Amino acid sequence: MTTASKTKTGHLSYNRTVGVAAMQGRGFYYPWAVSVAADGRYFVLGRGSDSDPRGTRYTVMDYDEKYYGTFGEFGTGEGQSLWNAGTAIDSQQRLYQSDEGLHRIIVRNLDGDLLNTWGEFGADEGQLNGPTGITFTANDELLIVDHQNGRIQKFTPEGEFIGSFGTPGSGDGQLNLPWGICVDSAGDIYVADWGNDRIAKFTGNGEFVANYGSSGRGEGEFDAPSSVAVDDNGYMYVADWANHRVQVLDSDGAFVDVHRGESTNSKWAQEFLDTNTEEKEARATANLEPDIEFNTDDLHEESAHIEKYFWGPTHLVFDNDGRLLVVDSNRHRLQVFDVG
Amino acid sequence: MTTTMTSEKALMAHLMRRAGFGASSEELDRLVEQGYDETVEQLLDVDRPNRMSDNLIRRYHSEYSGMMGNLSAGANWMYRMVSTDAPLREKLNLMWHGVYATGYSKLANGKVLHDQIRMFERHGMGSFKNLLIEISKDPAMLVWLDNVQNHNGAINENYGRELLELFSMGVGNYSEHDVKEAARAFTGWTIGNTEYMTMKCARDSVWPYGRLSFHFEFKADDHDDGEKEFLGHKGNFNGEDIVDIICQQPATADFLSRHIYSFFVADEAPVPEWPYKPPRDPAAIAALSNVYFESNYSIKAMLRFLFKSDFFKSEEARFQRIKGPAELVASVLRLTEEYGQPNISMNPTSQQAQFMGQWLLSPPSVEGWHWGTEWIDSGALVERVNFASERFGNIDSPGVRSVVDRILDNSDEDLPPDEVVDRALSELGITEISDNSREALIDFAKKQSEIATAEQTPRERVVNILKLVGATPEFQRA
């Protein structure tokens, strides 16, 4: 039996929730990652569902939930994708998206027009097997988490191979089904080493620096982290995916803060409820934080029952105003936090 | 009839078809070495099964994590059936899902159906009394059979009726008065946030943030704690007391025994016919009922007795069951080993069971599916044969590749037609086959050799035989 964990605040302060569940159009259907453009717009990449392809799309919005439209679709054709995984924007404001189902990268402009598709399945240099997290260095080099090959690969924006580092395994510098990636202001690279329950840090040249965290549920411990972001002060923000929480570590890896999520009604959610008054009234009488004796220690269950909690956070990134966006995938929303 | 393996191995193959989803020839050899009784104990020891981890499934399949719909919840379950090393547990889950059939159409929430299957996993092999209490508290069941609308002073009889008719005793063993009194005892057994949750079900609402899982709640102020008279007993009964009385009834022992016999030994008539049709083997039912009482309602004890009984081991019992669609799909996929890790194709693959007549988590009614020969109609048969043949025909599947290697002893030379057929039958776990089926397979193998072209390899010719073996009546049965 477990009970809901205590929600701790400190370094992380809940700001708001944006987005709402929607199979198509305005909203998200299993959002998986988000990129922030120079103009402040959020490009939210949807994973969608294997049984319903409509969610395999970008939804474009901003912090105030102004809706700009959607683009992208499920499929194997040019510009289509199966398993959307990561997204990033380069200095020329081109939008990149990884597809771990088709092992390729799709490039668009911010209007959604297709510019390029590249990538080839395999394990040789420059080939990909399950590209997931992607990010750009300050020099506009694209880093791709080539997760099934247990390595990070570096490409030009046009898809020319530059180099790689990491091998599959659990030793220092090795990776086990890694997922997310980010680069800090000093150019160091951080990888969410999903299968090893840790964050791995490398120099910009791919030399191993350190691992942070270990397996578990305690402070500074992780269960299958999916994503990491680092602020200008060196704090690491980790989507502790299977613990369904976000943790903050300092630059030495010491624990700073943890949050289980605190979602409230987004603007879009409120608009839905305001036009569906019966559901709104029933919801108003419901206790959305019930005290339940769970028959499993799987935190997935807590998050399935308690709506405000993160449920499978897949990605986190800062917007242009320094707010932390947490992609709360199973709840089809972004929870936004102020930091510091 | 031709036997393709030793009697010990044939018996082990029978056990693994019934208590699991079949086994490869290689696995059977290992189990024979281990011994029959030890294998039975291993099958019954289900506390910590190894299988594909939830994390791995959830990472790749978003909807298998959130489970708003039922396709994904069913496909998630299929991964468990295919990857578990405790197959009896999943097999039993299939049985309970058929007995306590609960469906998506009214719930609009795949997660709560998934939760019910997980409940079967925890209690399906324990005390039958506990299982009945748990199913009575199960949130999906509470909505499915309207106990959320069963109130003190305004009863809804639906759950009380089905508890007696379909879940424990069967028609003819209780009165209408007993139904009403049982319903009174279950008043106040509901789910938390009843109004909001049932409204979301009725509206199929995913807004604003997806589905919410249900949880059981006992509302004391909505419970009728007055005196009740039930099956000859009097008292201020609640739901647990009702279950206790039910479990004491010989009719309950017979009803449960017949379900277990029908699922694991030989197909019986559909449940609605049970009041009018005697069991196929009355002595077996009586023996199982006896174990039920002697073991204080232990399902595990009943299964242990069954698997070690002569009526189960008997050669007459073999291939007397038609594999259910989900069972067939899982049995093929375990042999082909094509889902060693998550793959986007799992959804359409799992859906094949639906096309064969069994849409997991969407039974046709509270009666569940009618098993046995009712699985087979001309359309379903085509789907079943095509599925097995197609999957066994894919030489890229690791399991098929291994089977072919073993059949050819890792060589690239053709074998004589009768030998290649017998080896193929043995590899796919077919211990006995009718002379007609075997001759047809050998005839095919001969003709295939006669018209062999340079482009076709011996391996491809073996694969063609595997495809045909998948279509035999013997493979379609358990």
Q: Tell me the pLDDT tens digit for each residue of B234-285.
A: 999 999 999 999 999 999 999 999 999 999 999 988 888 999 999 999 999 9
CA distance A287 to chain B (A): 7
Q: Is any Cβ of chain B less than 8 angstroms from the Cβ of A267?
A: no
B342-365: per-residue pLDDT in tens?
999 999 999 999 999 999 999 999
- Is A330's Cβ below 8 Å from some Cβ in B? yes
Q: What percent of chain B has pLDDT over 90?
A: 90
- Find all residues with CB under 8 Å of B104, minimum gap 6, and list them: B69, B70, B110, B113, B361, B362
Domain assignment present for A5: no
**Which run of H or of E encompasses A142?**
strand A142-146
Nearest to A330 among B65, B203, B208 (CB): B65
Q: What is the CATH number of the domain that holds A22?
A: 2.120.10.30
CB A133 within 8 A of CB A179: yes
Instruction: Output the pLDDT for position A5.
Output: 41
Tokens of B209: 């943030």
Candidate from A107-121, A167-181, B300-314, B407-421 with smallest mean pLDDT: B407-421
Supply the mean pLDDT for chain B. Answer: 95
Selected residue with higher pLDDT from B47 and B36: B36
Q: Is B208 within 8 Å of A269 when comparing Cβ atoms?
A: yes
Residue A4 lies in a domain: no
* B187 CB-near residues (< 8 Å, 6+ apart): B150, B151, B152, B155, B222, B223, B224
Mean pLDDT for B131-154 is: 98
Tell me whether residue A219 is in a domain.
yes
User: Cβ of A256 under 8 Å from any chain B Cβ?
Assistant: no
Residue B137: phi and psi, rounded to 5, are -100, -5
Catalogue the E-assigned strands of B219-302.
228-230, 233-235
The reply to whether A7 falls in a domain is no
| Domain-located, residue A158 | yes
C-alpha torsion sign, points A240, A258, A264, A110: negative
Of A285, A288, A290, the CB nearest to B215: A290
Could you tell me the two tokens for B446? 């001969």
Nearest to A272 among B64, B69, B207 (CB): B207
Q: Find which of B62, B68, B148, B216 to mutate to test the A interface (most A CBs within 10 Å of its CB).
A: B62
What is this structure's pTM? 0.96
Domain positions in chain B: 64-317
User: Does residue B453 register a pLDDT over 80?
Assistant: no
Tell me the pLDDT of chain A averaged across its residues.
Answer: 96
Residue A17 to residues A7, A47, A299, A325, B173, Cα–Cα distance (Å): 17, 19, 21, 9, 56
**CB contact A83 to B (< 8 Å):** yes
The 10 Å CB-count burial string (b at 16+, else e) for A6-37 is eeeeebbebbbbbbbbbbeebbbbbbbbbbbb
Contacts of residue B7, Cβ cutoff 8 Å, sequence gap at least 6: none
Question: How many domains would you assign to chain A?
Answer: 1
Mean pLDDT (whole number) for B359-373: 93
Separation between Cα atoms, residue A88 and residue A111, nearest integer Å: 15
pLDDT confidence of residue A51: 84
The whole-number average pLDDT for the span B68-89 is 96
Domain membership of residue A3 (yes or no) is no
Q: What is the CA radius of gyration of chain A?
A: 19
Tokens 């509901």 sit at which residue? B190
Beta-carbon separation of B203 and A279 below 8 A = yes
Contacts of B66 in chain A (CB under 8 A): 30, 311-312, 329-330
* Non-local CB neighbours of B392 within 8 Å, separated by 6+ positions: B332, B335, B336, B400, B428, B463, B466, B467, B469, B470
Torsion, Cα A161 A157 A329 A271, to 10 degrees, reads: -170
**Shortest CA distance to B318 belongs to which of B22, B28, B90?**
B22
pLDDT at A2: 35
Convert the pLDDT of each residue in B92-107 to its tens digit.
999 999 999 999 999 9
**Interface residue A265 vs chain B (CB under 8 A):** yes
User: How do beta strands A174-175 and A167-168 pair?
Assistant: parallel
Say how far apart CA B138 and CA B234 lie, in whole Å. 26
Nearest by CB to A282, which of B65, B195, B215? B195
pLDDT digits (tens, 9 = 90+) for B166-218: 999 999 999 999 999 999 999 999 999 999 999 999 999 999 999 999 999 99
Nearest CA-CA partner of B150 in B199, B179, B198, B184:
B184
Q: Is the pLDDT of residue B2 over 80?
A: no
What six digits make up the tokens of B477? 């049965």
Whether A20 contacts chain B with CB within 8 A: yes
- The pLDDT tens digits of the residues spanning B276-333 come to 999 999 999 999 999 999 999 999 999 999 999 999 999 999 998 999 999 999 999 9
Residue ranges making up the domain that contains A307: 12-339
Nearest-Cα distance to chain B for A87, in Å, is 16
Q: Which residues of chain B does A33 touch, with a Cβ-Cβ cutoff of 8 Å?
A: none
Region B152-162: mean pLDDT is 98
In angstroms, what separates the C-alpha of B66 from chain A's closest C-alpha?
Answer: 5
Which one-letter DSSP state was computed for residue A110?
A: T
Q: What is the pLDDT of residue A3?
A: 37
What average pLDDT does the segment B132-157 reach? 98
Probe site for chain B from A1, A20, A51 (most B CB atoms < 10 A):
A51
Residue A106: what pLDDT? 98
Reply yes or no on whether the pLDDT at B419 is more than 50: yes
pLDDT band, residue B454 (cuts 50/70/90): confident
Q: Is residue A98 part of a domain?
A: yes
Judged by a CB distance cut-off of 8 A, whether residue A315 touches chain B is no
pLDDT over threshold 80, residue A21: yes
Burial of A338 (0-12, 13-18, 19+ CB in 10 A): middle
